[in-house]
């Protein structure tokens, strides 16, 4: 699946101005992350386990 076919979404913490946001798309094997200001640049793909560890760390768990 190409990154153009993914369902991208922004965090609920993102502002309504559309600036300084990241977008995330969840696929079967990985979580993809990209800069919302320049969606033409390559996205970062992270394994689902790695993403879960990152989210837990960011949440302070």
pLDDT digits (tens, 9 = 90+) for 22-60: 889 999 999 999 988 887 888 999 999 999 999 999 898
Quickly state the pLDDT bin for 20 (edges 50, 70, 90): low
The helix/strand/coil state of 50 is helix
Q: Which residue has the higher pLDDT, 13 or 37?
A: 37
What is d(CA 40, CA 61) in angstroms, rounded to the nearest whole number?
33
| DSSP E strands, the chain | 9-10, 22-26, 30-35, 44-47
């Amino acid at each position: 699946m190409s990154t153009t076919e993914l369902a991208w979404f922004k965090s609920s913490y993102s502002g309504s101005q559309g600036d300084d946001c990241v977008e995330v798309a969840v696929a079967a094997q990985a979580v993809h992350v990209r800069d919302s200001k320049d969606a033409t640049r390559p996205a970062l793909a992270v394994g689902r386990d790695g993403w879960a560890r990152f989210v837990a760390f960011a949440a302070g768990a």
